[in-house]
Chain A
Amino acid sequence: MALDKTVLVRGGLVIDASQNLEAQRDVLIESGKVRALLTPRESARAAAAEIIDASGCWVVPGLIDLHVHAREPGGESAETLASAARAAAAGGFTTILAMPNTEPALDNPSLLELLKAKAERDSCVNVFFAAAATVGRKGERPTDVARLAAAGARALTDDGRAVADSGLARRVMEWAADCGLVFIEHCEDEALGRGAVAHEGPAALKKGLAMSPWAAETSVVLRDIALAELTGCRLHLAHVSAAQSAAALAWAKERGLAVSGEVTPHHLALCEDDVPGQDANFKVNPPLRGKADRDALVRALNDGVIDAVATDHAPHSPEAKAAGWASAPPGVLGLETAVGVVLTKLVHPGKMSKKRWVESMSAFPAKLLGLKSKGSLKPGMDADAAVIAPAKSWAVPESFLSKSRNSPFIGMRLKGQVRTTLVGGRVVHAL
């Protein structure tokens, strides 16, 4: 995919946490790699085949989403690797980690090889895969971790549910440690919320919905922190949603454990009180929790207790979402709105610095997945970048590049829009 020609991204403010840089720089790209960051004076003498005007914009290393449901195979009416990649590109993401809760589940090396080839052919961004931790995601026996790792899996997870059996979770984490894979846990004790479709709080109590309390998440967070210490596994907590879970993560870090966590834009921006009636486009798992949770998550992200913003992009067809709150599947779109939401709700109001934001959506995810040539615009790195118009105001439309439209942000006015996305020096999205 790399191009031989030179590209110059000119006139933007480069924000790059990996080199602690926030300054006017022009990005000179050659053969799909960053060749140099030039000051305006240096740049005046530079020649390039293609110029991308970034004046008034922020230029950041391509964003990396640790949590995407691309739905292929089995859910192609809601999303495909190709459509997820287009949505990613539109959102400034140049790399995504696809989750294995497909139909069938991504639990064997053959399927992984197939999907990798398909992604290579169909996707305009880099796609990596997390493999299932247990066969069929049934929580009964571990997958062939060594062979999956050899085939290129970047992580293990049964996302959509936790590995409920603690003994099995221990073995999975031991295997992950041996094979150098991250174990990503969806922390939820389903016994604490059978049939739950909402957070246990006043909003759902009033609506008469089956509820799951914060403790359903935090109890598994705490168990897994203990198992991470026991096994030496690199543990990453998916979509942290409760204040208590963030506190547990802070405690794990104080102990010096290799544990990290992510939070979604919707859990940063919304809470239980924001759900209009029973609009299933707000139904998500883990559920939108209380205001205090939301505020604690924002603080934890800014403090670095929570390491990453990941979208948990979860497309579902309009028909599936129209089945009513109780029956509709949980999940919301995230790729195309993440930048706008995070800038509008956190960065512009001063709740998070620009550099911390870039770190959480690019440098850290690259590090977690061991992507040594990504998450940075240092010379020699892959020329994956996003150009963002920070002050551009836009209303989230009802249609998306994703094949689905189940977004809770439809109609919301956001400030900050992705203008151009480059993967390996090639423009994959331009407004």
Chain B
Amino acid sequence: MAHTIWNRKDLLGLEGLSRPEVEAILDAAVSFKKSPPEPKLQDRALAFLFSEPSTRTRSAFETAALRLGAKTLGFSATTSSLAKGETLVDTVKNLEALGVSYIVARQEASGALDAVAPKTGVSILNAGDGLHEHPTQALLDLFTLREKKGRLDGLRVVFVGDALHSRVARSNLIGLKTMGARVTFCGPRSLAPDAFARLGAKIERDMDAAIEGADAIYCLRLQLERQKDHFFASLADYRAAYGLTERRLALAPEAVVMHGGPLNRGVEIDDGPADGPQSAILSMVENGVYVRMAAFSLIEDWRKSRGLG
């Protein structure tokens, strides 16, 4: 295949990916969505390394890998070995010795995978590292947005809510800016601090002002346990200021409504916007499979070109 633009063993984040690289993944995902895939990953073994719970992301990765013919190891090397004191590098090297070619990893520590990847021949796909990056989520968001709007360049995308604790917001900020979109972070100072402006986001405190005429509204999941550290006073107060309601959505009639799930209905998003005609939430879930197939496929081409198993 002619994805010579892709020259990476791993997919660790959107940081550092060029526009052509992002486009290569999105375009490959388009072709996977159109027609059934060849079993490109036949005989390849894949393991999951999750130190945090996940349903959606893990299932989508597993579906993508199975459709490409990979064998997934029937276990998840989770916190168990790390809890016994083994380092992440040692766990990865053990999996490599077992013949694993791909590891899909979710780790609580931000940046943990960046240190591990150079030390192994296994291809690592980041399924979320702490508050740092969640590249395949952002890629499926970009894919869905491009599908709905026909382009990414020049779009105005507003993220509402807890950007501080969101790897999805961070990866999207990087990816959207790479693709020429404008990004606004809207939330209280505690959850959308001004310092994000230094990373290229526009900061807006008032939700109505932020979303008016936007091309997309991305509701960030509110982690309810943040209340005990006073990041917000109460759910009612948070909803009043930053909940996506029918009334608010009327300010942005052309906007695609997005949410990475799981939803806190009645907090950051109401039923109407979540289930209505502007919602892309379920398309995102479906597209997540194609985007992950695309990522596997590009990396597999790279591995083959290097003669790696």
Contact = CB atoms under 8 A, between A and B. Distances in A.
B73 interface: no
Interface in B158-212: 164, 167, 170, 193, 195-196, 198-199
Contacts of A278: 110-112, 114-115
Interface of B: 87-89, 108-112, 114-115, 129-133, 164, 167, 170, 193, 195-196, 198-199, 229
Nearest to A191: B229
Interface of A: 194, 200-202, 205-209, 277-278, 322-327
B227 to A, nearest CB: 15
A202 B195 contact: yes
A205 B110 contact: no
Contacts of A322: 87, 89
B162 to A, nearest CB: 13
Contact of A208 (B88, B170, B198): B170
Contact of B109 (A201, A206, A325): A325
B114 A208 contact: no
Nearest first, the 5 A-B pairs at minimum CB distance are A208-B131, A208-B132, A208-B110, A202-B198, A326-B109
Given A201-B195, A207-B110, A278-B115, A326 B87 contact: no
Nearest to B108: A326
A324 B129 CA distance: 12
Nearest to A201: B195
A205 B195 contact: yes
- Determine which residue in A200, A208, A324, A326 has the highest number of CB atoms from chain B within 10 A of its CB, and name it: A208
A102 B108 CA distance: 30
A48 to B, nearest CB: 54
Which secondary structure characterizes the binding site on chain A?
loop
A325 B111 contact: yes
A393 B110 CA distance: 37
A110 B132 CA distance: 48
B82 to A, nearest CB: 10
A221 to B, nearest CB: 22
B206 to A, nearest CB: 22
8 contacts: A202-B198, A205-B164, A208-B167, A209-B111, A324-B115, A325-B111, A326-B108, A327-B109
A323 B87 contact: yes
A208 B109 CA distance: 9
Contact of A324 (B112, B170, B229): B112
A201 B199 CA distance: 10
Nearest to B193: A205
Nearest to B197: A202
A389 B167 CA distance: 49
A324 B88 contact: yes
Contacts of A208: 110-111, 129-133, 167, 170
A207 B132 contact: yes
B90 to A, nearest CB: 11
B229 A206 contact: no
A202 B164 CA distance: 12
- Determine which residue in A322, A324, A326 has the highest number of CB atoms from chain B within 10 A of its CB, and name it: A324
Contacts of A209: 110-111, 130-132
Contacts of A205: 164, 193, 195-196, 198-199
A201 B196 CA distance: 9
A297 B193 CA distance: 25
B199 A206 contact: yes
